[in-house]
Chains A and B, each alone.
Chain A
Amino acid sequence: MTAGRILAIALIAVSVIGAIGLFVGAWWIVFVIGLAVGIALPARGAIIFSALFSLAVYVEPLLRDHLIYGLGPTATSLAAIMGYPHQPAIPIVLTCALGLLLGLAGAWLGSASRAFFQPAITR
């Protein structure tokens, strides 16, 4: 099995875990997974991997709801609640950005921990 295929399977696996987490209300799951990924993978790989899976985890429910119910009125309403009527893109972008930032923050913290603690572990 190639490294790429392993990564792809891992990406799908953590995305599924993340989606289940969101469904039970654990929105912070992407941060935790990002943290684990940051510790497990080299920094650059961890950042890219985390960006991909956290976006996938946060976009998938939106996409699914849009296909079933249509998210237009909901996005418009949320934008109005936020003080930006008629700008439905804002809550969508905010939601995706939130997922992305949580995943990236986890990955960064994981990578930084790994770098910070690794020399001591090596000695």
Chain B
Amino acid sequence: MRLANFAAAIVFSVAILYVSFVGAGPLPALGPAFNPATGAWTMAFDASIGRETQHLAGLQKTVRITLDGDGTAHIVAQTDHDLFLAVGYVHARFRLFQMDLLRRQGEGRLSEVVGRKALDSDRFELQLGLLRTAEQEWNGQPGPSDRARMAILAYTQGVNDRIAQAEFLHQLPAMFTLLGYQPKPWTPIDSLVVKGDMTQTLNFTDTPLVMALLAKSLGPDLASKWFPVLPPNPQSPYDPGPYPAQPTVAPLPAPQIGSAEAVAAADAYQRLASLPAGLVATGGASNNWAVSGTRSSSGGALLAGDPHLHLTLPAIWYQLTLDSPGYHVAGVSIPGTPAVLIGHNQHIAWSLTDAQNQQTFYYSEVENAAHPNQYQWNGSWRRYDTASYDIPVRGGRTERLTVKLSIHGPVITERGQTTTVWWAGNIPSQDLDVLLGMDQAGDWQQFRDALRDWHSPTHNFVYADDKGNIGMISAGYYPHVKGGQPWLPMPGAGEDDVDGTVPYDDIPQVYNPPDGIIWSANQRQVTADYPWYIGTASNFFDPGYRANEIHRTLSQGAKLSAADMMALQTDTRDFLASEMVPILLTVMPASPARDLLATWDYRMEIDSPAATIWWTFWQTSIAQAFDPWWKARAVPVDRSEMNDSLGQYLESVMLAGSTVCPPEGCGPMPTCPPKNAQECNRIPLNAALDKAVRSTLDTLTKTLGADPKTWTWGRVHQRTLQNLAQITGLDYGPRPDRGDANTPLAAPDFPSSHGPSWRMVVDWGSGTFMGIYPGGQSENPASQWYGDRVDMWWNGKYAPMLTADQAASAPGATTWRLQP
């Protein structure tokens, strides 16, 4: 009996201690996690903010940080070094777990903390090479500039000061405790990797692989027609030329894809498609524009910017103002990096959108059958370089990964045809120094000069200054290939290599245009006359509806104000709908649904049933036009993935009074008298519209009921802000929201989790500086600053971007003092 009792006590104790020390299944080690004094409960202490004096290693002089009512950090330092040290400290104080996730993602170390489910992502990242590039940027020649080196080192010191402090005081963010690990010290390379994460999200693309699959299955003629280099629909390029005359883009032969290339493309495409969202760029959606002083009601230049990204809690942005001898700048930064990316200083304001030009190229390598580790390049055999990595896996064995590297870049697949990828994001760059230079620029010339060394991702940088000037430059690397068809995988033997970039003076740019407005929304920046290839219409550039709508609004003649900028940023008018609905109404029989469309203002508002009818109609039209082709040709690419390009084509033919016929043709055309020829030609279009309308109304009746007035957009379209650690209980939403993929207030997908990640409006005439982002300054879900800005953002409101002095006297402000 005593033995049994003793054995039972041992078993019970071992069980309790095991789950407490080690955890079980999805449970973390319960002991440290739920220690009420040092475990996850410390997020209550972390969420309380009061006056503080901290002593930090590495500081040269005292730094004052004012946290205003919404947590914006206003840092006043006596040296530039201390400024960046303090930025590192506040970033780590409020976003350390986010920073750790970002560096782990780029360095292929997620599996170490979350287990095998992150292994594909880790393998891919180590193959692609953000870590290799960051190491070259930091350790290679010429290495970072003195300015960037000082900023990154000081920033690193600030992050590590906070890590040491948090570990000593048991104040690490709760997610570390719950996942059972401690953050490693921050390094300069980590900051460069975090910058690389953003480059990859915005710029690394699988489009040439997709184009290869489309060309193989649909045939070269249809692929060229539906997915052309130049957009088939009406566009609003911001830089209409004139352009330099010299290199011309010759018409290229129709693409031919071999079977081995198609196998390789399919393998790489499927592999990339299975990665977590955000690792591969899938089209952009950001807006920015500027209005010169001559066109504004205040007499000063106006600037508006709203970059659209995956909307997460915490957000990708951290808002701050920086004041030191060398810097006076306010705006948003990315935790993990020391510079302000979007904002204003005393003289200039700027924002950015993704420029979308092609920076990813795939090469089919010719390998030596006798020596599998050799490939042919410029007439000789070369050995692949290799890089080996250990990937620690939580709860599993460490995996060894060897990456093969050709002259073009890493091998991405060896199935069918060994394929490598050349990506501009893998060129060591001075991008962080560029950002610091931009933060310090005082006029257009300095701004433009600072951006000269910007590589990737290519951005449309919009500019407005305190003298009434405006400008835009799509700075970045514009790879030029010697030959071939760069939108498809190209032969790797050397004749189609990237041999340079478009000269800086010839990239898209304008300064003080005559009509006093500049705009970008990921559209193709230039007309068909631009002499260099910069990417295809499909999947690189946006279809252009947001740009067209912004251009339409800004061109209306009246003087514009900051309030007009805010109204346009939150406008939901769908330009495509304004083109297509009038065509639809010509064939739609009288009905309540038709009445709703006929009186609609093309705005995708929550309470609009017409918005639902239009959207459903357009999706149905695309499906009815192209699904028969997809089925007949067994296209191995999800058709909905190509909806932007297919919609562009369908829009262009519908505007021309025609439609897309199915593989078997549109049927026999009636014989028409010559005077009715035009009407006659519209018969297939009218039939297609009629079929799509009937299907639309049937679908909506089945799903939303018989009364069209109740088919409001908010019933089908919602938005969610997702927790960065994918904890759904910490999401915001889903909640009905307005907008769609084509509206200035972008809200693609159902539910939408992508959209305006930061809205900023500047009016130099009235001294108005306003901004808002969805989220809050703290990653701590128990903090009042976790999601306190969401409702303001959702309702289209803005908060003033205060200076440090204004913040210090604002209600609810708290001051910290950092001392050596």
Contacts and interface: CB of A to CB of B under 8 A. Distances in A.
A115 B2 CA distance: 7
Interface residues of B, number: 39
A80 B780 CA distance: 13
Contacts of B170: 25
A31 interface: yes
Contacts of A23: 37-38
Interface string B2-39: 11011011101100110011000000001110111111
Given A95-B36, A108-B13, A80 B729 contact: yes
A98 B20 contact: yes
Given A73-B44, A80-B727, A116-B6, 10 more contacts: A24-B38, A27-B38, A74-B47, A95-B36, A98-B34, A102-B20, A105-B9, A108-B12, A111-B9, A116-B3
B20 A95 contact: no
A61 interface: yes
Contacts of A76: 782
Interface in A63-111: 65-66, 68-71, 73-74, 76-81, 83-85, 91, 94-95, 98-99, 101-102, 105-106, 108-109, 111
Contact of B20 (A28, A79, A85, A91): A28
Contacts of A99: 36
Interface string B723-739: 00001011000000000
A50 B41 CA distance: 23
B730 A81 contact: yes
B583 interface: no
A112 B729 contact: no
Interface residues of A, number: 47
Contacts of B174: 77-78, 81
Interface of A: 19, 22-25, 27-28, 31, 58-62, 65-66, 68-71, 73-74, 76-81, 83-85, 91, 94-95, 98-99, 101-102, 105-106, 108-109, 111-113, 115-116, 119
A116 B47 contact: no
Nearest to A108: B9
A98 B47 contact: no
A22 B37 contact: yes
A104 B21 CA distance: 17
B729 A79 contact: yes
Interface string B715-756: 000000000000101100000000000000000000000000
A98 B13 CA distance: 12
A73 B781 CA distance: 8
Interface of B: 2-3, 5-6, 8-10, 12-13, 16-17, 20-21, 30-32, 34-41, 43-45, 47-48, 170, 174, 178, 727, 729-730, 780-783
A66 B13 CA distance: 30
Contacts of A73: 44, 47, 781-783
A112 B38 CA distance: 31
26 contacts: A22-B35, A25-B32, A25-B35, A25-B170, A27-B35, A27-B39, A31-B13, A31-B16, A65-B44, A66-B44, A69-B44, A69-B45, A74-B44, A74-B47, A78-B174, A79-B729, A80-B729, A101-B16, A105-B12, A106-B13, A109-B12, A112-B6, A112-B10, A113-B6, A115-B6, A116-B6
Contacts of B730: 77, 80-81, 85
Contacts of B43: 74, 77-78
Contacts of B45: 65, 69
A65 to B, nearest CB: 5
Nearest to A21: B37
Contacts of A116: 2-3, 5-6
A59 B35 CA distance: 10
Nearest to B730: A80
A74 B34 contact: no
B82 to A, nearest CB: 30
Given A71-B44, A102-B20, A105-B17, A61 B3 contact: no
A41 B16 CA distance: 22
Contact of B727 (A58, A62, A81): A81
Contact of B48 (A25, A59, A60, A69): A69
Nearest to B31: A27
A78 B28 CA distance: 13
B38 A22 contact: yes
Nearest to B783: A73
Given A65-B45, A108-B12, A81 B729 contact: yes
A116 B540 CA distance: 76
A84 to B, nearest CB: 7
A80 B517 CA distance: 47
A95 B34 contact: yes
Contacts of B12: 105, 108-109
A116 B13 CA distance: 16
Given A69-B47, A83-B729, A109 B37 contact: no
